[in-house]
Structure 1
Amino acid sequence: MQQFENTDEYIADLKAKLAKNRECGNTLYNLGVAYLSKREFMEAERYFREAVANSPKLAEAYVQLGGIAMQRGDMKTCLTYNVQATQQRPFFAVPWGNIGFCQLQMGETEKAVQSLKRAIKYDNKFVQALATLGSAYFSLGDLEEAVKSLEEAVKLEPKFGPAWNNLALVHAEQGEWAKAKECVGKAQESGYDVPEDFLKEIETNLK
């Protein structure tokens, strides 16, 4: 395995390979990932677009393009790219999780539940999808299913702060304030910034 001193050295090596084979989808994809690691989103996007133009079945590149769109707050474009990823690899869990997240943000909660369940079917340890599914169930008022999904998420990843915070919200909705306090404590331990108003609400209801 070739070692590089830094990302720029790695990029230079990839560009040298690309000069010999301009249409290599994997090299173009790796360049996109390298630029993404430097947070140079426009360059990353350019190489990911070239990657799928030359290798249309490269589902990971569609997912990365979706991630860049999400970073810009463009949920519709993010959704489109992830749908394209599933068309190339139907059993790839990651784009299904992203589709569910986009649908939830766009208010299509029922659709989000179906997409997220599909993501978890393909990868039952997909923590982000489990946590998002918990949020979707919470939005629908199905607190029992919300607890199940969120508890599974924190069981798999005990330091996943957003899931602990959402679990606290569900317990608060159920009137289980002691449990809510325990969950926000776990969220804070993970470095998650729990809203001050929610912390005050918990303390008020515990008095």
Structure 2
Amino acid sequence: MNMPAGLTAGTYTADTTHTSAGFTVRHAGISKVRGTVPVVSASIDVAENFLDSKVTAELDARGVNTGSADRDGHLQSADFFNVDVHPTWTFNSTSITASGSNEFVVNGDLTINGVTKSVPLEVEFTGTATDPFGNKRAAFEGELEISRKEFGLVWNAALETGGVLVSDKVKINIEVSAISA
């Protein structure tokens, strides 16, 4: 497959100050809670044949932030992420397929809470630029939906009106600005 326009083969390392990972989950069946998880590191090894490229990422579950210290503490507890035992989330790509001119599905192994599952990460390559410091940057946006129960995140509370407090489905999104090595 042809390389996306502007991208060149080589290793790109995430600029963690310009890279973010977030999640969205339904709360009480009627609203959404959004949060972020710090990206510790990520790299994209872009191959001459783009579909042979590799992606790795590590996130710090201890830094989960939903804007509520009480909720963040609960998410860090054994009820959810159990950060004392499983402080990091990881993603390691296993294959890439094209789904459009700048759109791809990056299949990979996602580990959350010590449980690893194969997931399809839908990714859009959003372009390249040279920053004022001479760094060549490449940007990507990705999104996937997981079942939190599949990762052992089963805590919940029944609602008086029916349903549960926390939805099983969680949307995860990531925006990466990476610098060419």
Hey, which of these two has a bigger chunk of helix by percent?
1
Larger relative CO (CA 8 A, sep 6+): 1 or 2? 2
Structure with max Cα Rg: 1
Fold conserved between structures, TM > 0.5: no
Q: TM-score, normalised by structure 2?
A: 0.20
Q: TM-score, normalised by structure 1?
A: 0.18
